[in-house]
């Protein structure tokens, strides 16, 4: 029988959250794939984090960039009862959370500027200050944390500039300093000496700030690799990637599990003869007569093209090899002699063998990049 491309109706996941996407974005491919985010796994990861830090440590989860692709609003709503605050990068992310009803303090990592300064007051966002210029911008009544650079050399205040900054802080009685923090640049490596060095520096510098201010330093790497060494850092912690179930570095952490699975469906299959090539560039040839299946997911949805001929997918619990070049909207799978029925669920990612960190390793990146690049066109569904 000649194979035809099937257009399946939306699958039975009626709870799919379309993230208020413009309707043009919800193309046919989006209907034949979705991401599932498991809240029970999120609860377990939170427990793993809590078990690693000192009692009474405040949790300030990092839900920047749509919670690393998992959906900032649903993640924030789920976490709200268990955490003290949230961290984002841009003020607009904070505005979106406020409008969704999030009441916890929200710390914005990016420094404020003239164009967005008003939303810090209107939406009660905590600014990050690393220069007197930022202090000068802040409107009366605004709260802020001071970000000190101890080696990352990205956004924090350089040590030499701290005297000027602390002097300026004294003069602004109409705004509220609430915290001081720094960021580790190599905490993902369990054997690094830089964490101790940075902490040492932070220990000395933080004493210039009022004792009631919150001190925080730890990202995922520090929480899982340096928890014992760094008691001071644990007024509060800023867990990011570990919330979503991934280690910050190469060392796997058994107590963490990915929240995310990515599922599509077989929309097409066709016979191939031994020696015939499939997809662009003829980068794969059939080792024998058999069937090639197609899913409507490609690099336009965030599936890295570098994974071509290098990844596996799971159909009903069995792993199959992806074959040929991954294309913009479609990906091919070698089914062997199994003419798997159209409409069958196909998993690209799961919490088992098909993990984002495996993709990351094969494409020389990190799980952070894999999950943040999954297109917003792919609907997110929440369970648990
Ligand atoms: C992203 C970020 C974090 C979280 O980092 P993870 O490695 O994902 O835990 C914490 N603090 C700052 C300043 C960040 O930019």
Residue 254 lies in a domain: no
Cα 266 to averaged position of ligand 1 atoms, centre (Å): 37
Summarised one tens digit per residue, pLDDT across range 258-283 is 999 999 999 999 999 999 999 999 99
**Which atom, in ligand 1's list, is nearest to the CA of 223?**
9
Mean pLDDT of the chain: 92
For atom 6 of ligand 1, the residue with the nearest CA is 240
Tell me, what's the pLDDT at 153?
94
Q: Which of 279, 274, 277 has the alpha carbon at shortest distance from 295? A: 279
Q: In terms of pLDDT, which residue wins out, 4 or 270?
A: 270
Summarised one tens digit per residue, pLDDT across range 312-368 is 999 999 999 999 999 999 999 999 999 999 999 999 999 999 999 999 999 999 999
Q: In terms of pLDDT, which residue wins out, 362 or 31?
A: 362
Q: What is the domain range of residue 70? A: 39-244
Pair 58, 25 in one domain: no
Cα 89 to averaged position of ligand 1 atoms, centre (Å): 10
| Burial label, 1 (beta-carbon count in 10 A; 0-12, 13-18, 19+) | exposed
Pair 236, 273 in one domain: no
Tell me, what's the pLDDT at 231?
65
Task: Compute the distance between CA of residue 96 and CA of residue 102 in angstroms, rounded to an integer.
Answer: 9
Summarised one tens digit per residue, pLDDT across range 172-206 is 999 999 999 999 999 999 999 999 999 999 999 99
Pair 234, 377 in one domain: no
Range list of H helices, the chain: 28-31, 39-52, 64-69, 72-79, 91-99, 117-122, 132-137, 162-171, 194-206, 220-225, 356-362, 367-372
Instruction: Judge whether residue 126 has pLDDT over 50.
Output: yes
Number of domains in the chain: 2
Cα 21 to averaged position of ligand 1 atoms, centre (Å): 27
Tell me, what's the pLDDT at 22?
42
Pair 74, 182 in one domain: yes
Cα 363 to averaged position of ligand 1 atoms, centre (Å): 22
For atom 4 of ligand 1, the residue with the nearest CA is 240
Pair 105, 183 in one domain: yes
Strand pairing report for 106-108 and 86-88:
parallel
Tell me, what's the pLDDT at 16?
41
CATH number of the domain that 44 lies in? 3.20.20.10
**Which atom, in ligand 1's list, is nearest to the CA of 241?**
8
Pair 22, 43 in one domain: no
Q: In terms of pLDDT, which residue wins out, 127 or 251?
A: 127
Tell me, what's the pLDDT at 3?
46
Task: Compute the distance between CA of residue 294 and CA of residue 325 in angstroms, rounded to an integer.
Answer: 12
Pair 61, 81 in one domain: yes
Task: Compute the distance between CA of residue 266 and CA of residue 307 in angstroms, rounded to an integer.
Answer: 19
**Which atom, in ligand 1's list, is nearest to the CA of 219?**
9
DSSP label at residue 17: B
Tell me, what's the pLDDT at 250?
87
Tell me, what's the pLDDT at 234?
67
Instruction: Judge whether residue 110 has pLDDT over 90.
Output: yes
pLDDT band for position 232 (cuts 50, 70, 90): low
Pair 87, 220 in one domain: yes
pLDDT band for position 20 (cuts 50, 70, 90): very low
Cα 374 to averaged position of ligand 1 atoms, centre (Å): 19
Query: Residues with beta carbon inside 6 Å of ligand 1?
Result: 62, 64, 109, 183, 219-221, 238-242, 248
Instruction: Judge whether residue 162 has pLDDT over 80.
Output: yes
Summarised one tens digit per residue, pLDDT across range 45-65 is 999 999 999 989 999 999 999
Pair 56, 169 in one domain: yes
For atom 1 of ligand 1, the residue with the nearest CA is 240
- Kindly state the percentage of the chain with pLDDT values over 70: 91
Instruction: Judge whether residue 230 has pLDDT over 90.
Output: no
Task: Compute the distance between CA of residue 97 and CA of residue 74 in angstroms, rounded to an integer.
Answer: 10
For atom 13 of ligand 1, the residue with the nearest CA is 183
Q: Which of 244, 270, 290 is the last residue of a domain?
A: 244
Residues 147-155 have a mean pLDDT of 96
Cα 87 to averaged position of ligand 1 atoms, centre (Å): 9
Pair 298, 175 in one domain: no
DSSP label at residue 8: P
Strand pairing report for 143-147 and 127-129:
parallel
Tell me, what's the pLDDT at 306?
98
Instruction: Judge whether residue 1 has pLDDT over 70.
Output: no
CATH number of the domain that 289 lies in? 2.40.37.10
């Amino acid at each position: 029988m000649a194979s035809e491309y099937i257009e399946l109706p939306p699958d039975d996941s009626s709870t799919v959250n379309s993230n208020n996407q413009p309707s043009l974005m919800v193309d046919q491919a989006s209907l034949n794939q979705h991401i599932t985010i498991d809240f029970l796994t999120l609860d377990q990861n939170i427990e793993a984090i809590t078990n690693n830090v000192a009692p009474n440590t405040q949790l300030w989860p990092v839900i920047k960039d749509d919670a690393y692709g998992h959906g900032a609003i649903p993640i924030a709503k789920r976490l709200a009862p268990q955490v003290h605050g949230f961290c984002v990068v841009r003020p607009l992310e904070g505005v979106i959370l406020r409008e969704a009803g999030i009441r916890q303090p929200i710390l914005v990592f990016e420094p404020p500027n003239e164009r967005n300064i008003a939303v810090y007051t209107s939406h009660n966002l905590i600014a990050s200050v690393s220069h007197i210029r930022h202090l000068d911008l802040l409107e009366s009544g605004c709260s802020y944390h001071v970000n000190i650079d101890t080696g990352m050399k990205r956004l924090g205040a350089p040590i030499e500039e701290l005297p000027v900054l602390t002097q300026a802080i004294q003069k602004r009685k109409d705004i509220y300093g609430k915290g001081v923090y720094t960021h580790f640049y190599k905490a993902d490596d369990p054997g690094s000496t830089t964490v101790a060095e940075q902490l040492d520096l932070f220990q000395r510098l933080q004493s210039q700030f009022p004792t009631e201010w919150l001190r925080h330093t730890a990202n995922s790497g520090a929480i899982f690799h340096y928890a014992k060494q760094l008691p001071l850092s644990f007024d509060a912690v800023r867990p990011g990637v570990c919330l979503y179930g991934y280690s910050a570095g190469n060392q796997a952490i058994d107590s963490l599990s990915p929240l995310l699975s990515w599922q599509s469906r077989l929309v097409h299959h066709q016979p191939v003869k031994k020696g015939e090539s499939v997809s662009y560039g003829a980068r794969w040839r059939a080792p024998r007569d058999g069937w090639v299946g197609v899913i409507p997911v490609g690099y336009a949805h965030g599936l890295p093209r570098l994974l071509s001929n290098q990844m596996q997918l799971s159909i009903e619990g069995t792993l199959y090899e992806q074959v040929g070049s991954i294309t913009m909207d479609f990906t091919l799978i070698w089914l062997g002699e199994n003419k798997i029925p159209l409409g069958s669920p196909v998993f690209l990612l799961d919490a088992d063998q098909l993990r984002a960190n495996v993709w990351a390793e094969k494409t020389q990146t990190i799980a952070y990049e894999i999950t943040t690049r999954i297109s917003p066109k792919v609907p997110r569904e929440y369970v648990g």
